[in-house]
Amino acid sequence: MKKLFSLLLAMMMLLSVSAMAEMSEDELHAWALQNGYVKADVDVLTSATTNKAGGVNFGAIEWTEEMQVMAIKEFLKGGHYLGDANYAQDESGWNYREMYQMATVYGNMPNNTNLELVLDIDSLCLLGVSEAGTSKTLHFNYNPNVSISWCRQLRPHEEETYNYYCSYGVQFDGVVRIFTAADLETEEGTAKLLNLFDKYYPTLATSWMGYAAKFAGLTDEAEIRAAKLAYIEQQLKGGAMVIYEVVPTRIIITAPFLINMSPSMTNGIKFVNQMEGEKKYAYDLLLSESFLDALVDYKNAYLATEEGMAQVKEYYATGMYPMLDGLCAQYGAPTSLQICMMPTTAAGLKTQTTWEPAPVAAPAEEGVKTGAAKGFHGTITASVTLNDDGTIATVAVDTSCEHADYGAKVGNDEAFLAQFIGKTGPFTLGEGIDAVSKATGTSTAAVEAINNALK
């Protein structure tokens, strides 16, 4: 801290007296960061983001949350093996076990490793059991922030027909929760552990045999539960394995196959005729037709609206391959817009989309109303108490998840919070409520959290 103070003092000497007078301590620190005079510590992971402005994220039409969840489950359905079909998560017969790449950071040193995890299709958490002492378990024990990726790999015979544009993938940014024996002392922890063992272990033969043997032959539900918990407690106290779940902060879905998925491949890549008896779509890559049907139906319903059609036409006028589209039109090949208009293709949907869990506020004390909203790096929460006439008496906003030199300041800015006192809401930034300087985005989320608390 003394070194930082000395460095800032030295920089202040280089600045003009007038500039120094106009800079607050926070602004000076922000200036030092931006100009490379202070090295920010690395404590989180970087990852892909959804580019809604165009770029490589082709497509005019945003996904719905229902479609996003459908895609996550479709892509990560895994194989057919289950130690016992009674423990299947749904009627599909897939085990939702896949091989992933996990990236961790500890002491500013990155690590990347392979591991197998099982998707919980209800919570969209990833469930895992790994040997203790491995680099990944040591890393996420100190820094629970991880990034996990999965990508559909083309098989040799597929490479002759498809190209890399037709693969797809999923990336999790999340937080690892490591379970301990103490979790068995709470109802929530016990329920999570039973859920994890019932969904993880039936997907792996050798592990399932050991777990299932503990309650084999039992018929009483209470006895089965007790036998399972005894096995789980033994595993937690044994120390040989680390039992955990990855709770997603966001899931990024990449589906570039949407660009070319149609009965008739165009733009000179490949031409495939749709004939009776053949598959409905030229590119399925092990994707179920029910999933592809849902994408196509959604796209067509979107185009059926006047607003949707106008948005798509505007996008394709400048948004995707404008030069290539000009050549396609010149030589009689379908343009991107024409491919989007085909009733049997999902082209037009964004080829990358991000699912985020709904923000959840912490339980409120009696008389306190709480709300939450999505910030840049996590969930922003607001706590509000009201006067008898319904006006706001007190307001507190937690923005600690945001960047320390920018968004995190909002929750501690007394002038910003004072703007809500004595008023009823709902509030709109810029209409009687001013943002904190250099933190407009976080200020917007804070206002949303306060509005949600007042609902």
Transcribe 411-437 into DSSP letters: GG-HHHHHTTTT------BTTTBPPPT
- Alpha-carbon separation of residue 72 from 65, 232, 255, 431 (angstroms): 11, 29, 11, 39
CA distance 223 to 195: 17
Please state the φ and ψ torsions of residue 141, each to the nearest 5 degrees. Answer: -70, -30
Which helix (H) or strand (E) segment holds residue 196: the answer is helix 187-200
Amino acid identity for residue 397 in this structure: V
Helix residue ranges, H only, 35-186:
65-75, 135-142, 156-159
CA distance 50 to 102: 20
Spatial contact of 350 and 61, defined as CB atoms under 8 Å apart: yes
Residue stretches of the chain with pLDDT short of 50: 1-5, 7-18, 20, 42-45, 51-55, 263-277
Nearest C-alpha neighbor of 384 from the set 355, 358, 417: 417
Task: Name residues whose C-beta falls within 8 Å of residue 186's C-beta, 6 or more positions apart in sequence.
Answer: none
Give the pairing type, strands 379-386 and 241-254: unpaired
Spatial contact of 107 and 138, defined as CB atoms under 8 Å apart: no
Residue 421: per-residue pLDDT: 94
pTM over cut 0.75? no
Nearest C-alpha neighbor of 116 from the set 68, 81, 157, 167: 81
Nearest C-alpha neighbor of 444 from the set 428, 431, 455, 423: 428
Nearest C-alpha neighbor of 102 from the set 146, 64, 62: 146
Nearest C-alpha neighbor of 424 from the set 396, 387, 397: 387
Residue 281: per-residue pLDDT: 72
Please state the φ and ψ torsions of residue 369, each to the nearest 5 degrees. Answer: -100, 135
Please state the φ and ψ torsions of residue 385, each to the nearest 5 degrees. Answer: -115, 150
Please state the φ and ψ torsions of residue 192, each to the nearest 5 degrees. Answer: -65, -40
Sign of the CA dihedral 123, 125, 129, 133? negative
CA distance 363 to 392: 19
Buried b (16+ CB within 10 A) or exposed e, 299-329: bbebbeeeebeebbeebbeebbeeeebeebe
Spatial contact of 23 and 9, defined as CB atoms under 8 Å apart: no
> Residue 349 has what DSSP assignment?
B
Which helix (H) or strand (E) segment holds residue 446: the answer is helix 440-454
Within 10 angstroms of residue 141's Cβ, the number of other Cβ atoms is 15
Task: Name residues whose C-beta falls within 8 Å of residue 127's C-beta, 6 or more positions apart in sequence.
Answer: 117, 118, 119, 120, 195, 196, 199, 200, 245
- Angle, CA 237 vertex, CA 235 and CA 241 arms, to 5°: 50
> Side-chain half-sphere of 220: how many Cα atoms within 13 Å?
4
